[in-house]
Amino acid sequence: MKIDDISPYLSGVGFTLTSLDADDTGADDVAGQFLIYGGEAINSVMSDLDLPPLPEVLAGMVGSKISSTARGVLTVAGTFLTILQMQVMSSKPKLAAVLKYIWQGISAILAGRAIPALPAV
């Protein structure tokens, strides 16, 4: 995967997770919203803009268990983010920091913890 592909990938996967069921407040929905946010954050950094604020819906703990489908999707996305972070670490440190943050958010969701606060980049 190339760096230009990660933002639409995250946003697309995020939309899919938010559409898994009629409920819009479950763990799958929070994970999906976070991936959509991740795509927006990457676009912002690539365009030399400030990071968008983290949406209120993503604050706090995930109240329900994440589905096995979402768990698999998040695991794959996290793997891509780690690889891309290593690829851009020296040439685009701000982007690397955002990729790391998204990976940390995914890890928190998978562990049932709150999404961490935005980093200063």
Write down the domain spans for the chain. 3-111
* Whole-prediction pTM: 0.89
HEC string of 27-74? HHHHHHHHHHHHHHHHHHHHCCCCCCCCCHHHCCCCCCCCCHHHHHHH
H-run or E-run covering 25: none
Q: Which pLDDT value is given to residue 62? A: 63
pLDDT at 58: 81
Cα–Cα dist 39/57, whole Å: 16
Find the angle CA(76)-CA(78)-CA(81) to the nearest 5 degrees: 115
What residues in the chain have per-residue pLDDT under 70? 1, 60-64
Q: Output the pLDDT for position 67.
A: 83
